[in-house]
Amino acid sequence: MLYDAAPAERPDRVIVVVDATAVARGLNLAFQLAELPCRLSIALTKLDVAQDQGLRVDADALARATGIPVVCVDGRRREGLERLRETVQVSLTEEPQVRREDASIDARFADLDAATKAAVHTESQPVTRSQRLDAVALHPVAGPLLFLAVMWLVFQITTTVAAPLQDGLEALVSGPISDAARHLLKAVGLHHPLVEGLIVDGLIGGVGMVLTFAPLMALMFLCLAVLEDSGYMARAAVVTDRLMRAIGLPGKAFIPIVVGFGCNVPAIAATRVLGSPRHRIMTSLLIPFTSCSARLVVFVMLAQTFFPAHAGSVVFALYVVSIALLVLVGLALRKTLWRAVPQDPLVIDLPTYQLPTVRLALSVMWTRLKGFLHTAGGIIVSTVVVIWLLMTIPVGAATSVDGGYTTPAPQESAYGAVSRTIAPVFAPAGFDSWSLAGPLVTGFVAKEALISTWSQTYAVKDVTDATPEEQAASSLSDRVRADFAAASGGHTNAAVWAYMLFLLAYTPCVATLAAQKREIGWRWTLFGFAVQLTTAWVLAVVVFQLLRLL
Query: In angstroms, what CA-CA distances link 87 with 83, 100, 226?
Result: 6, 23, 32
Q: Are residues 388 and 334 in the same domain?
A: no
168 and 66 assigned to the same domain = no
For residue 50, what are the contacts with CB-CB under 8 A and spacing of at least 6? 20, 21, 56, 57
Listed residue (527, 516, 526) closest to 256, CA to CA = 516
pLDDT for 525: 93
| DSSP assigned state of 509 | -
User: Alpha-carbon torsion 390, 396, 398, 404, what sign?
Assistant: positive
Are 370 and 389 part of one and the same domain? no
CATH number for the domain spanning 52: value is 3.40.50.300
Could you tell me if 267 and 152 lie in one domain? yes
Give percent of the chain above pLDDT 70. Answer: 82
Identify whether residues 163 and 69 lie together within a single domain: no
**pLDDT number for residue 225:** 85
Q: Percentage of residues in the chain with pLDDT exceeding 90?
A: 10
Lowest-confidence region among 292-296, 297-301, 342-346: 342-346
Q: What is the pTM of this model?
A: 0.62
Q: Are residues 284 and 386 in the same domain?
A: no
Answer whether residue 49 is part of any domain.
yes
End-to-end CA distance of the chain: 66
- Provide the pLDDT for residue 473: 46
404/525 same-domain check = yes
Q: Which of 160-169, 421-430, 494-503 has the lowest mean pLDDT?
A: 160-169
**Whether pLDDT at 93 is above 80:** no
Domain residue limits at 97: 7-126
Q: Where does 246-310 have alpha helices with state H?
A: 254-260, 264-269, 277-286, 293-306
Residue 211 belongs to a domain: yes
Rounded CA separation 502/420 (Å): 18
**Same domain for 431 and 540?**
yes
Between 400 and 370, name the one with better pLDDT: 370
Q: Which residues have a Cβ under 8 Å from the Cβ of 149 and sit 6 or more positions away?
A: none
Total tally of structural domains belonging to the chain: 3
Q: Pairing between strand 70-72 and 40-45?
A: parallel
Instruction: Give domain status of residue 347, yes or no.
Output: no
Identify whether 352 is part of a domain: no
**Statement to judge: residues 475 and 393 lie in one domain:** yes
- Residue 30 within a domain: yes
Q: How many CA atoms lie within 13 A of 469 on its CB side?
A: 0
Kindly state whether residue 353 falls inside one of the protein's structural domains: no
To the nearest whole number, what is the mean pLDDT of the chain? 79
- Give CA–CA dist 316/307, Å, rounded: 13
Is the model's pLDDT at 398 over the cut of 70? no
Question: What is the β-pairing status of strands 398-402 and 405-408?
Answer: antiparallel
In a domain, 199, yes or no: yes
Q: Which of 1-15, 189-203, 219-233, 328-342 has the lowest mean pLDDT?
A: 1-15
- Do 321 and 257 have their domain in common? yes
Per-residue model confidence as pLDDT tens digits over 211-236: 776 787 788 788 888 888 888 888 88
Q: At what angle do helices 293-306 and 475-487 cross, to 10 degrees?
A: 80
Mean pLDDT of all residues in 172-181: 81
Same domain for 165 and 89? no
The mean per-residue pLDDT over the stretch 233-260 comes to 80
Instruction: Identify whether 152 is part of a domain.
Output: yes
Same domain, 315 and 437: no
Provide the phi-psi class of 46: left if phi over 0, else alpha when psi is between -120 and 50, else beta: left
